[in-house]
Amino acid sequence: MVITWHKSTCSFCGLGCGLMVGVEKKKIVKIEGMKGHPTNDGVTCLFPPNYPPIFTDKDRLKQPMIRRDGQLVPISWDKVIKYVASSFKKIIEDYGPNSIAFYGGAMNLTEEYYLINKLMKGAIGTNNVECSTRLCMASSAAGFLSTLGADAPPTCYADVEQADLFFIAGFNMAVSVPVLFQRLQATKKNKGAKIIVVDPRRTKTSDIADIHLQIRSGTDVALNNTLAHILLKEGYVNEDSVDRYTSGLDNLKIHLEKFPPSQGAEITGCSENQIVKVAHAIGESKAMLAFWFQGYNHSSQAMFKNNTLHNLLLLTGNFCRPGAGPLSITGESNALGNRWVGTLSHLLPGMRLVSNYIHRQEVADFWNIPLEKIQPIPGKSILDIIKGLHSNDIRAFWIMTTNPAASLPNSHWVREGLAKTELLVVQ
Ligand code: SF4
């Protein structure tokens, strides 16, 4: 048996573990973790070893299909590419470039999203380019933008082994990102790192917590403000340093007066004693790494949950040091990468904005196209794209690696919109 090994990435969860794919006689026969990969160093969860049968499943799509008389029938790649290109061209000629829209998931390669943006925004000339991160991670991105001025967590997985305290909020890491959770477990075992879990639920993650704050749903902002109140009152904050690197400390102190431990306990349902213990653990930690997920991001207070958690890290100097900082985890493995190359309707590559003249000029120069080709107004958000399908403003819709009929809210309305599309390309 001769197996050749090829590098790949697991796209099943937000981690993006490195994989080695074993191929024998043109068939995938084995999948293992990639040794030396910064995410998983050879380890995988239970999923990848069970992938090989998927590639030979009889229901797997192996060629393009096109709908003829209501039925999907096979077509060659050459023919389908020509058909899609000529259909796009005709629709653009008849209705203009803004009659076309693109919507992608967040698990493709950064380079692929860069090309999509170049094709749509630079060649076709529409900003109707959206990605599932518009919904999934939008509040985390907005949290980083409003705290740091940039949509970018200043941390990485290598920080895990440097931390002595993990603060995990609204996130069942043991189930959602098992390989990363194993790294936390190992750091706890080998270096004595402590784990604080904030979650209304008892989970596999809270099972190994040193302290589990089982707060009432929706009270994270009050909890974070109470923790900040205690940290300030008990002298855990180097105010000179905070003043040097941030703005608004005096206003924050006034605001936090409303959150003494008794108030925090009443709102969150946790005991004062437990909240104070957590504040002390944060204040005494040398390097705290904070994780959060959709328990924060999918809520009506999402951005404030993000901001108030960032505040705890800023107040305690847990930024820009090994093992310290905010490490938001994404639902799909390239959520940040695709935003960095502009896969939202208001963005251009490099987190530039379509509404910014200088940014448009920089990108137009780099792409060697006239400045006027890039529209100065953001394109439609994904929900406006669906509205556009209903109103016929959007005639052609190109979907890649995501299933909006299942993942967007109000799926019946989404399906009705998709059914009205003149050209629907699902890739
Ligand atoms: S932890 Fe996530 S990315 Fe890593 S192997 Fe498992 S499913 Fe894939």
Here the ipTM equals 0.99
pLDDT at 329: 87
Tell me, which fold does domain 65-135+335-426 have in CATH? Rossmann fold (3.40.50)
Nearest residue (by CA) to ligand 1, atom 8, is 10
pLDDT at 261: 98
At position 423, the amino acid (one-letter code) is: L
Residue 136: Cβ-neighbour burial (10 angstroms; 0-12, 13-18, 19+):
buried
How far is ligand 1, taken at its centre, from the CA of residue 43, in Å? 9
The CATH number of 139-326, from 3.40.50.300, 3.40.228.10, 3.90.930.12, 3.40.50.800, is 3.40.228.10
- Every domain of the chain and the residues it spans: 4-56, 65-135+335-426, 139-326
How far is ligand 1, taken at its centre, from the CA of residue 48, in Å? 7
Tell me, which fold does domain 4-56 have in CATH? Phosphorylase Kinase; domain 1 (3.30.200)
- Running along the chain, 427 residues long, what does each successive block of 10 average in pLDDT? 91 93 95 96 95 92 95 97 98 98 93 96 97 86 90 92 98 95 97 98 97 97 98 98 96 98 98 98 98 91 95 96 94 88 95 96 98 97 97 98 93 97 97
pLDDT at 129: 97
For residues 308 and 231, give the distance between their C-alpha atoms in angstroms, rounded to a whole number.
Answer: 13
For residues 37 and 95, give the distance between their C-alpha atoms in angstroms, rounded to a whole number.
Answer: 47
Give all strands (DSSP E) within 217-355, no chain letters: 288-292, 325-326, 347-348, 352-353
User: Is any atom of ligand 1 closer than 6 Å to the C-beta of 10?
Assistant: yes
Under 8 Å between Cβ of 160 and 180:
yes
Strand partners of residue 22: 5, 30
Q: Report the b/e string of 340-349 with b at 16+ CB within 10 A.
A: bbbbbbbbbb
How far is ligand 1, taken at its centre, from the CA of residue 17, in Å? 6
How far is ligand 1, taken at its centre, from the CA of residue 318, in Å? 28
User: Is any atom of ligand 1 closer than 6 Å to the C-beta of 17?
Assistant: yes
